[in-house]
């Protein structure tokens, strides 16, 4: 822990950490040492981790990347944080992210951008950009992230690390600052699928008393899947019998040639390992962008109404009446992207527009989920690129919100359907920048996903 804290300081210019508290970290480390000395042996005992600053923590301030929550200290730990701590993990601090997890480049953080260690002029992806960079730059061996529409998978792809977003409801949302509650899901990011399996085993499991959308499905030991051989598999062909579906919509125009070539090469590797590639179709892929960018802002506008400067959040120093206080506090506390989404969300939910936008989006969301079920009749896993390009330059898209939204094309549909998805390093594209291979499974198929990724790695 001491080594990693020193290393984080040395690489401060990357912007990965928002909060550290050496005293608290070392106290947790001493506690782990005492448990080890008492003979306890669990995989995470004494392992230093760091958390996306969207999880509330007692020992560190929580900002969700927003000025609105500057200096906020929670009286409790998020369930995910608490479960990892119960397994003996030691917390190094909190990691930078897009404000309220809204973004895909980490440029929307009120605390400055995070830099991609592969090329510090480029974005690390987002919204879990600090998380991906902490793993890629070896500032932490493993971290937590959250994924609402790609925020674990896309930064993992841009930084060359492994990340998994489990089935919606698999990890408790208790203590996760809410963005879009029907989509938000926590997951681990690490150097390998094997490390992700260790973390996810501790993180997942029911928490129904505190999160009503948490699934009543017992916790699972995902590490058991890693060494387990698939039926009919051999040592040389560990993926034998695995049918991998390739959605034609993920390989068409709009995806950069270097990304397609890298993903195709990784898939050829899977074929050598025994997998069969099957052509499939997810015909409503394009619709996932307008559908997500109606539903997510709608839920965000409702969730963020709590930051009124009274119960929660920044309060303007000077104001007239109550309404003026709300206006000033929220205008000062929220950054431009968050304000844009609150306005979009309020608009699509308003009387007269609800049927045309929100209701329609909900109907198409259901059809998108059905498309996945038809696809899974033909294959066991679905694979494709995570994002249409490698990491872009800092500033390149910062004045163009729609360009940012379009880059989410391959991750949004999985989130809308609530399916588990992961990003596994596939190789390198243009400029030697990392490219991720996205793997998507059916509900509760985290084990087989990690198993396949582990065999590939
Ligand atoms: N990039 C997407 C957005 O801006 C997804 C973010 C996320 O998954 N938190 O909403």
pLDDT tens per residue, range 280-313: 999 999 999 999 999 999 999 999 999 999 988 9
Q: Strand 48-52 to strand 90-95: parallel, antiparallel, or no bridges (unpaired)?
A: parallel
Residue range 66-95, pLDDT digits in tens: 999 999 999 999 999 999 999 999 999 999
Q: How far is the CA of 105 from the centre of ligand 1 (A)?
A: 9
> Euclidean distance between the first and final Cα of the chain, in Å?
27
Nearest residue CA, atom 5 of ligand 1?
149
Q: Strand 243-247 to strand 381-385: parallel, antiparallel, or no bridges (unpaired)?
A: parallel
As given in the structure block, the two tokens for residue 418 are 């609530």
Average pLDDT value for the chain: 97
The mean pLDDT value for 266-277 works out to: 98
Ligand 1 nearest-atom number relative to CA 179: 9
Q: Whole-angstrom Cα distance, residue 266 to residue 283?
A: 24
- At 232, the pLDDT band (50, 70, 90 cuts) reads confident
CA proximity to 91, closest of 142, 129, 153: 142
Ligand 1 nearest-atom number relative to CA 150: 8
Q: Whole-angstrom Cα distance, residue 323 to residue 327?
A: 6
- At 373, the pLDDT band (50, 70, 90 cuts) reads very high
Decide whether any atom of ligand 1 lies within 6 Å of the 147 Cβ. yes
DSSP secondary structure, 394-422, as one string: TTTTTT-HHHHHHTTTTTHHHHHHT--EE
What's phi and psi for 411, nearest 5 deg?
A: -110, -25
Q: How far is the CA of 361 from the centre of ligand 1 (A)?
A: 17
Q: How far is the CA of 125 from the centre of ligand 1 (A)?
A: 10
Strands (DSSP E) contained in 232-375 are 243-247, 276-280
CB within 8 Å of 231: residues ≥ 6 apart: 241
- At 103, the pLDDT band (50, 70, 90 cuts) reads very high
Q: Whole-angstrom Cα distance, residue 284 to residue 352?
A: 26
Ligand 1 nearest-atom number relative to CA 296: 10
Decide whether any atom of ligand 1 lies within 6 Å of the 101 Cβ. yes
Q: Where are the alpha helices (DSSP H) in 18-113?
A: 22-37, 79-86
How far is C-alpha 121 from the geometric centre of its chain's CA atoms?
22
Give kind and range of the element (H or E) at residue 344.
helix 336-349
pLDDT at 229: 85
As given in the structure block, the two tokens for residue 411 are 């991750």
ipTM above 0.90, yes or no: yes
Q: Whole-angstrom Cα distance, residue 357 to residue 339?
A: 19
Q: How far is the CA of 407 from the centre of ligand 1 (A)?
A: 10
Active site residues: 52, 127, 151
- At 228, the pLDDT band (50, 70, 90 cuts) reads confident
Domains by residue range for the chain, with CATH: 2-226 (3.90.1300.10)
pLDDT at 210: 98
């Amino acid at each position: 822990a001491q080594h990693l804290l020193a290393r984080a300081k040395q690489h401060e210019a990357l912007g990965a950490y928002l909060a550290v508290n050496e005293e608290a970290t070392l106290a947790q480390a001493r506690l782990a040492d005492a448990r080890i000395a008492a003979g306890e042996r669990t995989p995470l005992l004494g392992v230093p981790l760091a958390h996306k600053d969207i999880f509330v923590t007692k020992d560190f301030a929580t900002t969700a990347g927003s000025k609105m929550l500057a200096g906020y200290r929670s009286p409790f730990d998020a369930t995910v944080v608490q479960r990892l701590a119960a397994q003996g993990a030691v917390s190094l601090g909190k990691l930078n992210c897009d404000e309220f997890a809204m973004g895909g480049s980490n440029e929307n953080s009120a605390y400055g951008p995070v830099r991609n260690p592969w090329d510090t002029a480029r974005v690390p992806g987002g919204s879990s950009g600090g998380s991906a960079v902490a793993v890629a730059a070896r500032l932490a061996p493993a971290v937590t992230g959250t994924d609402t529409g790609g925020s674990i998978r896309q930064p993992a792809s841009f930084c060359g690390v492994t990340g998994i977003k489990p089935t919606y409801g698999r990890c408790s949302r208790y203590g996760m600052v809410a963005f879009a509650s029907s989509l938000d899901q926590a997951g681990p990011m690490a150097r390998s699928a094997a490390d992700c399996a260790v973390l996810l085993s501790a993180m997942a499991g029911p928490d129904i008393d505190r999160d009503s959308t948490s699934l009543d499905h017992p916790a699972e030991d995902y590490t058991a899947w890693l060494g387990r051989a698939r039926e009919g598999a051999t040592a040389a062909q560990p993926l034998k019998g695995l049918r991998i579906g390739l959605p034609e919509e993920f390989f068409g125009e709009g995806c950069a040639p270097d990304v397609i070539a890298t993903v195709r090469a990784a898939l050829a590797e899977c074929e050598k390992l025994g997998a069969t590639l099957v052509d499939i179709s997810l015909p409503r892929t394009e619709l996932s962008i307008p559908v997500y960018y109606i539903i997510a802002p709608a839920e965000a506008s409702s969730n963020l109404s709590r930051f009124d400067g009274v119960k929660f959040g920044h309060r303007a120093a000077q104001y007239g009446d109550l309404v003026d206080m709300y206006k000033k506090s929220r205008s000062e506390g929220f950054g431009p992207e968050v304000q844009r989404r609150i306005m979009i969300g309020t608009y699509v939910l308003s009387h007269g527009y609800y049927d045309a936008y929100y209701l329609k989006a909900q109907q198409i969301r259901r059809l998108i989920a059905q498309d996945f079920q038809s696809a899974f009749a033909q294959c066991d896993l679905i694979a494709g690129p995570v994002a249409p390009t490698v990491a872009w330059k800092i500033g390149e898209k910062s004045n163009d919100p729609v360009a940012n939204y379009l880059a989410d094309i391959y991750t949004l549909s999985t989130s809308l359907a609530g399916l588990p998805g992961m990003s596994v390093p596939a190789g390198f594209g243009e400029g030697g920048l990392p490219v991720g291979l996205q793997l998507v499974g059916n509900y509760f198929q985290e084990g087989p996903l990690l198993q396949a990724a582990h065999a590939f790695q």
